[in-house]
């Protein structure tokens, strides 16, 4: 392919930077599920999709869906996408890049129609920031948004059901978001969010599997009391118990090769300088490529929480917010990506993803695969997250090769959705 993708890559990066300005916070990017800036983002992205001949809609969980038709009316479709929500104090590329590259690929077709339509999806929720539960957007496409999930509340006591209504959507229509069985597969471009590709000097990676993860919330309950009058040996300090357990989490993960475990949020109640903490809430995020190692490590951390609490005269309770096994990507699609990476003049590198992605949810229903772009400095979930212009151009070129390979593949066109 002689086409030069660098102009399109410049546009892709400029668009990601523009979307980063749609934020709930004045000082940085934070765009959570069904927030006002997510609506701004929908408006802006729709303006990019519509002139390409795409039909744009927002489904009942707030996923933005733009359909570029195939060559014939009954043509099947492929999905390409990622998420439009962000963590607090986010960078401009996590998730967003995958949506914007997908639109860039449609743009690069310059009106050419393929034997399949292309549905570009901007998932409304992947990070789990607002409700503590990730993947709400992609779960809707595989029919996994149930009443229990809809009842879950955010920090302001607003349920997911109410948030959907407040956004002007109808939660009773969520089943309509489910993928139809004419979907041949799902592709996601995403920044690596780690240092591997950079260390190998390779622009693009081929994801073979996404590691499993659990997310939980622990509450240590002790006794709030006066900080000046209660002797140290007569306290039941919930925050001190949580702190001891947090160190235990780190120690266990440091000793188990490949295990990563993070306590990313802690809350102390009542939360005053002169009051011993009565209740401490702490989240746990634990991941490993082996489901057995992950679940055994989690059991051990629960045992340690119980033993720390008991020794200090406290109680501890926990609830699971996410239990997601590791997911393999589709071997045929992965091979096709590898070929497309090579055709773009890059040496492919097969790797596992330590980050969770919408692809791991979509894989329940359709063949799914991912392409990683090198992350400069290995940095993500931070405003300094970035991409190289040349790598974005290579990703676009790779995506074009991939589309053409699939358009010519009888094996691919003969596939159906695992409904
Ligand atoms: C998504 O960013 C994750 O936490 O893996
Ligand atoms: Mn993320
Ligand atoms: Mn992401």
Among 271, 200, 283, 201, CA closest to 239: 271
Same domain, 161 and 29: yes
Using the mean position of ligand 2's atoms as its centre, give its distance from the Cα of residue 132 in Å.
13
For helices 291-311 and 238-255, the axis angle rounded to 10 degrees is 150
What's the rounded Cα separation, in Å, for the pair 15 and 8? 10
Same domain, 310 and 352: no
CA 121 from centroid of its chain's CA atoms:
13
Tokens of 159: 């349920």
What's the rounded Cα separation, in Å, for the pair 285 and 350? 25
What's the rounded Cα separation, in Å, for the pair 65 and 46? 9
The sign of the dihedral angle between the CA atoms of 353, 355, 360, 362 is negative
Same domain, 294 and 228: yes
- 229 pLDDT band, cuts 50/70/90, is very high
CATH code of the domain covering residue 252 = 3.30.70.360
What average pLDDT does this structure show over 279-297?
97
Grouping H, G, I as helix, E, B as strand and the rest as coil, residue 36 is helix
In the DSSP assignment, the letter for residue 189 is: E
What average pLDDT does this structure show over 246-268?
97
Rounded alpha-carbon distances, angstroms, from residue 117 to 6, 209, 309: 25, 26, 56
Is residue 55 within 8 Å of 66, Cβ to Cβ?
A: yes
Q: H or E element: which one contains 28?
A: none
In percent, the amount of the chain with pLDDT more than 70 equals: 99
- 415 pLDDT band, cuts 50/70/90, is confident
In a domain, 1, yes or no: no
What ligand 1 atom has the least distance to the C-alpha of 356?
A: 5
In a domain, 296, yes or no: yes
State the residue range of the domain holding 234: 213-324
- 419 pLDDT band, cuts 50/70/90, is very low
Same domain, 62 and 94: yes
Question: How many structural domains does the chain have?
Answer: 2
- Confidence (pLDDT) at 131: 96
- 418 pLDDT band, cuts 50/70/90, is low
Same domain, 243 and 101: no
Among 139, 176, 58, 59, CA closest to 363: 139
In a domain, 198, yes or no: yes
Is residue 118 within 8 Å of 106, Cβ to Cβ?
A: yes
Using the mean position of ligand 3's atoms as its centre, give its distance from the Cα of residue 127 in Å.
7
pLDDT in tens, 332-373: 999 999 999 999 999 999 999 999 999 999 999 999 999 999
In percent, the amount of the chain with pLDDT more than 90 equals: 97
Q: Which residues line ligand 1 (CB under 6 A)?
A: 127, 355-356
What ligand 1 atom has the least distance to the C-alpha of 94?
A: 2
How many CB atoms within 10 Å of residue 267?
A: 16
pLDDT in tens, 303-322: 999 999 999 999 999 999 99
In the DSSP assignment, the letter for residue 158 is: -
pLDDT value at 1 more than 70: no
Last residue of a domain, one of 287, 304, 324: 324
In a domain, 386, yes or no: yes
Same domain, 130 and 245: no
- Confidence (pLDDT) at 31: 98
Same domain, 173 and 313: no
What ligand 1 atom has the least distance to the C-alpha of 126?
A: 1
User: Nearest-5° angle of CA 47, CA 357, CA 113?
Assistant: 45
- 3 pLDDT band, cuts 50/70/90, is confident
Among 399, 382, 403, 405, CA closest to 193: 382
Same domain, 75 and 44: yes
pLDDT in tens, 160-189: 999 999 999 999 999 999 999 899 999 999
In a domain, 85, yes or no: yes
Pick from 31, 356, 358, 360 the residue to mutate for probing ligand 1's pocket: most ligand atoms within 8 Å of its CB.
356
Q: Which residues pair with 281 in a beta bridge?
A: 219, 267
Same domain, 349 and 241: no
What ligand 1 atom has the least distance to the C-alpha of 95?
A: 2
* pLDDT greater at residue 2 or residue 216: 216
In a domain, 419, yes or no: no
Pick from 32, 355, 360 the residue to mutate for probing ligand 1's pocket: most ligand atoms within 8 Å of its CB.
355
In a domain, 88, yes or no: yes
- Confidence (pLDDT) at 417: 55
Using the mean position of ligand 2's atoms as its centre, give its distance from the Cα of residue 381 in Å.
6
Using the mean position of ligand 1's atoms as its centre, give its distance from the Cα of residue 193 in Å.
9
Last residue of a domain, one of 324, 347, 362: 324
Shortest-distance ligand to the CA of residue 382: 2
Last residue of a domain, one of 324, 352, 381: 324
Same domain, 315 and 330: no
pLDDT value at 133 more than 80: yes
Using the mean position of ligand 1's atoms as its centre, give its distance from the Cα of residue 211 in Å.
11
CATH code of the domain covering residue 165 = 3.40.630.10
What's the rounded Cα separation, in Å, for the pair 259 and 410? 41
Same domain, 339 and 294: no
In a domain, 418, yes or no: no
pLDDT value at 2 more than 70: no
pLDDT value at 148 more than 50: yes
Using the mean position of ligand 1's atoms as its centre, give its distance from the Cα of residue 234 in Å.
41
What's the rounded Cα separation, in Å, for the pair 193 and 163? 30
Among 191, 61, 194, CA closest to 135: 61
pLDDT value at 68 more than 80: yes
Same domain, 52 and 162: yes
């Amino acid at each position: 392919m002689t086409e030069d993708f660098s102009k399109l890559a410049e546009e892709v990066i400029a668009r990601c930077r523009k979307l980063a300005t749609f934020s709930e916070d004045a000082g940085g990017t934070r765009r959570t599920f069904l927030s006002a800036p997510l609506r701004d983002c929908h408006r802006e992205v729709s303006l990019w999709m519509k002139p390409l001949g795409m039909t744009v809609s927002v489904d009942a969980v707030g996923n933005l869906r733009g359909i570029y038709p195939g060559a014939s009316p009954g043509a099947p479709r492929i999905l390409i996408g990622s998420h439009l929500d962000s963590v607090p104090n986010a960078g401009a590329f996590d998730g967003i890049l995958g949506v914007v590259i997908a639109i860039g690929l449609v743009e690069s077709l310059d009106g050419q129609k393929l034997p399949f339509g292309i549905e570009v999806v901007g998932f409304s929720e992947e990070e789990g920031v607002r409700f503590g539960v990730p993947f709400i957007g992609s779960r809707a496409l595989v029919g996994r948004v149930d009443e229990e999930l809809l009842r879950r509340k955010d920090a302001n006591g607003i349920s997911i059901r109410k948030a959907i209504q407040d956004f002007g959507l109808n939660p009773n229509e969520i089943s309509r978001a489910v993928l139809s069985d004419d979907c041949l597969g799902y592709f996601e471009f995403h920044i690596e969010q780690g240092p591997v590709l950079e260390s190998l000097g390779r622009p693009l990676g081929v994801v073979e599997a996404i590691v499993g993860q659990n997310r939980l919330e622990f509450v240590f309950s002790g006794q709030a009391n006066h900080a000046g009058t209660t002797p140290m040996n007569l306290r039941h300090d919930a925050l001190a118990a949580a702190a001891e357990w947090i160190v235990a989490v780190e120690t266990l993960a440091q000793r188990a090769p490949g295990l990563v475990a993070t306590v990313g949020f802690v809350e102390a109640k009542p939360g005053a300088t002169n009051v011993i903490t009565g209740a401490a809430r702490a989240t746990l995020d634990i991941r490993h490529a082996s489901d057995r190692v992950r679940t055994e490590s989690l059991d051990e951390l629960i045992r340690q929480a119980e033993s720390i609490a008991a020794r200090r005269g406290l109680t501890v309770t926990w609830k699971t917010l996410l239990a997601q096994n590791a997911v393999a990507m589709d071997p045929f699609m992965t091979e096709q990506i590898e070929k497309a990476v090579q055709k773009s003049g890059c040496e492919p590198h097969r790797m596992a993803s330590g980050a969770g992605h919408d692809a791991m949810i979509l894989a329940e229903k359709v063949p799914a695969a991912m392409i990683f772009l090198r992350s400069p400095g290995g940095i993500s979930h931070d405003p300094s997250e970035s991409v190289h212009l040349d790598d974005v151009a290579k990703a676009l070129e790779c995506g074009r090769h991939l589309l053409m390979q699939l358009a010519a593949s009888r094996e691919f066109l003969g596939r159906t959705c695992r409904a």
